[in-house]
Amino acid sequence: MKNLKLLLAGTVAALTFAGAAAHAERGTDGDLKILFWQAVSTMNPYLSGGTKEVYASSMVIEPLARYDEKGSLVPMLVTEIPTVENGGVAKDLLSMTWKIKPGVKWSDGTPFTADDVIFTWKYCIAPDGGCAQAAQYEGVKSVEAPDPQTVKITFTEPKPYPYSAFVGAQSPVIQKKQFENCVGAKAPGCTSANFGPIGTGPFVVKEFKPNDVITLTANTNYRDAAKPAFATVTLKGGGDAASAARAVLETGEYDYAWNMQVEPEILAKMVAAGKGKLETAFGTQVERINLNHYNADPSLGAKRSTKEAGPHPSLSDPAVRRALSLAIDRSIIVEAGYGAAGKATCNIVPAPAAVASTKNDNWCLKQDLVAANKLLDDAGWKKGPDGIRAKNGVKLSYLYATSTNSVRQATQELVKDMWSQIGVGAELRNASASVFFGGDPASPDTFQKFYADVEMYTNNFDGTDPEKYLAEWLCDKVPGPANGWQGQNIPRYCNPAYDKLLGELSKTAELDKRAALAKQLNDMLTEEGAHIPLVHRGSVSSHSLKLAGVKMNAWDSELWNVADWSRTK
């Protein structure tokens, strides 16, 4: 009898559960509490390119298409992804056409049309607007609407990979009606629109307290009547990563916390409390050590790290560059500083899988002190009485710069120790991140100026196509006084063969050929020692065990599928 009762109770429970799943309704799961330890400053990602702003606004405003957690494009506001095969992309690669889904409405109930898409483009390219996402619209000649449901984008030159404008969390569509009078220099003045953009996404801004907390409610005009499951979202900001992790994993006050930059062992202890779990997603972030190809001797004054300074006295030797890489044990660096959020890598383009090379993994992934020492011996670098190698009065002793950050300083110490085992000395230096990455041409401590022999930081690319990223190593992108230190070729690498190969990539449209070329370019950079890739970094976030539907995404906003999130009963 007892068993029967249990069985019945179980069946009833199972039935109600199944029922709940089948008849999911909008707004039945209460409040979703999200914690960002860096507070959100605005809800308009065009006015602030910060990751936190892009992520927060992705719950409200949407692009035409997004990347899913695997990095493939999924249509959001359109019927399908245009390709050459389905005729959406012109054969000459000079234009593409998006078909808007019928019946999509803004949260204020008005229809979403191609006009809004055109307006978004005009908003971002308007002079004096300081649009942070202008790079997404690079190469776009015009955006037109043959009819209200069709958007035609024309490019200035053939675009083999055309998915940039209106694709991904960085370039969402904003409403023309709301932002019409906020174009160009007037953009910052429209505070209420910037804090509460009208969107097509699952949530609507109810109240925005800048740099503090955002309250959102479910969008009653959202295109899927059953979603979102949560009635409201509270996105709190501020504090630090460790206490944010604690609020989810230990005290359970929050459902989701973004960007857990916390020492691996501390995180592991918090997870042991049993209230939440970590989610990791690997995108394209790679922590690397750039090797300066120009002379960075301080005695050269303003000339250092420029072409006039001449090649670096020791780092221009390929044997030295190779030895520096061989001496590093990447797995120890990962273990000490990154835990589950890092993987040893020898690629500057580590993902997506289609373009990730494995060619150099055999020699590069494993530490080989014997080979490194031999390379240096053979090249004539002899150990002096202080244990540092030298040749013709040039010492293998380097100024090693990076930004201030506990993981980076720990990595510096490890690398310094590893290099000392092959007779290479290092002097460690760090500068505050806002200075190091600030790009102030008057500051000697920026990563662009590179007034050091080697420097370490992380960089990545948006989306899944590496062409624009690989173009950063072109000869004409070397930063210097002539371009106000604005180039992106930080290691000052220059190889005409590389430039030529990249030119080929920019003319190739077939995806598998593009992937092969990208791999080749990536391998060239690693083999020639433009830099030493160290760690493929993932993003780690934590969420409560009671939160279902989280699909951690490194290719788009982490909150990309917040409409599908729900609370487990």
Binding site for another protein (CB under 8 A): 35, 39, 41-42, 44, 47-51, 128-135, 185, 187-189, 191, 194-195, 207, 209-213, 215, 234, 236-240, 243, 246-247, 250-251, 253-254, 433-440, 442-443, 445-446, 448, 457-462, 484, 486-488
Q: How far is the CB of 461 from another protein (least distance, A)?
A: 6
53 with 42: CB under 8 angstroms?
A: yes
Q: How far is the CB of 145 from another protein (least distance, A)?
A: 26
Q: How far is the CB of 37 from another protein (least distance, A)?
A: 9
In which element (H, E) is residue 125 found? helix 114-125
Q: Which of 562, 470, 275 lies closest to 553, judged by CA?
A: 562
Q: How far is the CB of 418 from another protein (least distance, A)?
A: 26
* DSSP reduced 3-state for 487: coil
* DSSP reduced 3-state for 321: helix
Q: How far is the CB of 40 from another protein (least distance, A)?
A: 9
Comparing CB distances to another protein, the nearer of 170 and 360 is 170
Comparing CB distances to another protein, the nearer of 114 and 289 is 289
Count of C-beta atoms within a 10 Å radius of residue 31: 14
Comparing CB distances to another protein, the nearer of 39 and 424 is 39
> Exposure of 382 by Cβ count < 10 A (0-12 exposed, 13-18 middle, 19+ buried)?
exposed
Q: How far is the CB of 463 from another protein (least distance, A)?
A: 9
Q: How far is the CB of 239 from another protein (least distance, A)?
A: 5
Q: How far apart are CA 390 and CA 94, in angstroms?
A: 55
Comparing CB distances to another protein, the nearer of 250 and 499 is 250
Comparing CB distances to another protein, the nearer of 446 and 566 is 446
Q: How far is the CB of 485 from another protein (least distance, A)?
A: 8
Q: How far apart are CA 132 and CA 48, in angstroms?
A: 6
What does the DSSP 8-state code read for residue 304? T
Comparing CB distances to another protein, the nearer of 20 and 135 is 135
* DSSP reduced 3-state for 518: helix
Residues 356-370, buried b or exposed e (16+ Cβ, 10 A)?
A: bbeebeeebbebbee
CA atoms within 13 A on the CB side of 90: 13
261 with 235: CB under 8 angstroms?
A: no
Q: Which of 6, 561, 555 lies closest to 282, judged by CA?
A: 555
Comparing CB distances to another protein, the nearer of 445 and 527 is 445
Comparing CB distances to another protein, the nearer of 53 and 69 is 53
The H-assigned helical ranges of 196-337 are 241-249, 264-271, 318-326, 330-337
Q: Which of 425, 400, 33, 432 lies closest to 214, judged by CA?
A: 33
Q: Which of 219, 230, 231 lies closest to 105, judged by CA?
A: 219
Comparing CB distances to another protein, the nearer of 47 and 326 is 47
500 with 326: CB under 8 angstroms?
A: no
Structure-block tokens of residue 179: 């932002």
In which element (H, E) is residue 67 found? strand 65-67
Comparing CB distances to another protein, the nearer of 269 and 507 is 269
Q: How far is the CB of 202 from another protein (least distance, A)?
A: 20
Q: How far is the CB of 491 from another protein (least distance, A)?
A: 14
Q: How far is the CB of 420 from another protein (least distance, A)?
A: 30
Indicate the residue type of 28.
T
Task: Return the bridge partners of 85, or none.
Answer: none
Comparing CB distances to another protein, the nearer of 79 and 486 is 486
Count of C-beta atoms within a 10 Å radius of residue 36: 24
In which element (H, E) is residue 4 found? helix 2-22
